[in-house]
């Protein structure tokens, strides 16, 4: 049975792919080497970036249009084996060919970095930067994201790369955003403009939330009888207060066995307060750590048969240790 027309056929190469292959072939001609010789050269020209030595068969596939756009490390190994330079231009052509073959760049409709105003603009622009970089594999992106001796894996979690590259979310902090941009090959001289764009996008979210507080709740919020949560801008002082509280609660969890009913009620109150805040994402690390601790405290209270009792007139008493009082949220 013959396959339907078009099924099983190789897509026609794009113009950027044609230019890439033409350029690579010209480098081989300039080198005057056979593929066997290039394969031998690759054993000595392979660097520490994972290119290594490649076989003659692999080198032939790099310039075979029917094989599709080759991987980046194969292109790098090919150029270095030729020994006539041209690596930067080859990689520029490769990135264009890779973005063309993936076919996602045009659909993003990403604004120029100076035109970024909202979080949606920023998400599209970051995803476009990833596509223009040739959608590098995680290992390559992490190696390029490193900064000041800090490994890219530390600066940029895998989940952040996945969300940002797929336009599913944004990095939590500017440092993560900068690491992602470095991983995509954005030059350091452009980082200032990107940081300004980041600040505009974050400010636009805060402004929208601020306006929502000045008007009655609408839609789903109104139907459920809810009002928007207060907006809290993350500050070093707020982080210090939360972390101080977390340390104090940890001391109680360690020293007070069984947990007092007073302690359990305070843990519940702080947990509800933290959970009801809309915090900037840069502060969510401390908040998540505190929330996890409070969850553990409440579980301990239930195990001890000291389930939190109801508040008195909407207030919970402070926790007292050594004659002093620790007001929830105080640093």
Question: What is the Cα–Cα distance from 181 to 113, expressed in whole angstroms?
Answer: 12
Dihedral sign, Cα of residue 325, residue 291, residue 254, residue 241? negative
Q: 38, 56 in Cβ contact below 8 A? A: yes
The 3-state DSSP class for residue 325 equals strand
Residues 6+ apart with CB under 8 A from 18: 65
Q: Taking the model in full, what pTM does it have?
A: 0.60
Return the pLDDT at 148. Answer: 86
Residues 6+ apart with CB under 8 A from 289: 246
Return the pLDDT at 139. Answer: 87
Q: Give me the tens of pLDDT residue by residue for the chain, a chain 331 residues long.
A: 444 545 555 678 899 999 999 999 999 999 999 999 999 998 887 655 556 688 999 999 999 999 999 999 999 999 999 999 999 999 999 999 999 999 999 999 999 999 999 999 999 999 999 999 999 998 899 999 999 889 999 999 999 999 999 999 999 999 999 999 999 999 999 999 999 999 999 987 655 444 433 344 444 444 444 444 444 455 566 666 666 666 666 665 555 445 555 555 665 566 555 555 545 444 555 556 566 656 655 555 555 554 444 334 444 344 334 434 334 444 3
Residues 6+ apart with CB under 8 A from 83: 31, 33, 41, 45
Q: Which of 96-100's residues contact partners 24+ apart within 8 Å by CB, and which partners?
A: 96/16, 96/19, 96/20, 97/14, 97/16, 97/17, 97/19, 97/20, 97/69, 98/69, 98/72, 98/134, 98/135, 99/16, 99/131, 99/132, 99/134, 99/135, 100/14, 100/15, 100/16, 100/17
């Amino acid at each position: 049975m013959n396959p339907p027309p078009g099924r099983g056929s190789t897509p026609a190469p794009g113009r950027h792919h044609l230019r890439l292959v033409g350029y690579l072939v010209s480098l081989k001609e300039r080198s005057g080497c056979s593929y066997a010789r290039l394969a031998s050269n690759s054993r000595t020209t392979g660097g520490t970036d994972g290119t290594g030595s490649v076989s003659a068969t692999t080198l032939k596939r790099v310039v075979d249009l029917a094989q599709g756009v080759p991987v980046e490390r194969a292109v790098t190994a090919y150029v270095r084996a030729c020994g006539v330079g041209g690596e930067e231009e080859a990689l520029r052509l490769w990135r264009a060919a890779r973005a063309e073959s993936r076919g996602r760049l045009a659909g993003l409709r990403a604004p120029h970095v100076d035109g970024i105003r909202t979080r949606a603009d920023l998400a599209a622009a970051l995803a476009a930067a990833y596509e223009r970089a040739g959608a590098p594999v995680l290992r390559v992106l992490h190696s390029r994201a490193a900064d000041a001796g800090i490994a890219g894996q530390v600066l940029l979690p895998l989940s952040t790369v996945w969300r940002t590259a797929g336009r599913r979310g944004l990095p939590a902090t500017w440092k993560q955003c900068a690491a992602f941009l470095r991983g995509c090959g954005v030059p350091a001289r452009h980082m200032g403009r990107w940081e300004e764009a980041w600040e505009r996008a974050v400010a636009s979210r805060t402004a929208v939330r601020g306006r929502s507080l000045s008007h009655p709740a609408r839609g789903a919020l109104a139907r459920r009888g809810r009002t928007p949560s207060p907006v809290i801008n993350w500050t070093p002082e707020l982080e210090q207060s939360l972390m101080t509280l977390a340390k104090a609660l940890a001391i109680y969890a360690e020293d007070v066995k069984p947990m007092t009913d007073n302690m359990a009620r305070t843990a519940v109150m702080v947990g509800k307060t933290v959970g009801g805040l809309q915090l900037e994402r840069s502060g969510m690390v401390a908040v998540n750590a505190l929330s996890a601790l409070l969850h553990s405290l409440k579980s301990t209270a239930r195990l001890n048969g000291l389930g939190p009792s109801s508040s008195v007139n909407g207030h919970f008493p402070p926790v007292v240790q050594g004659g002093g009082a620790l007001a929830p949220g105080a640093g």
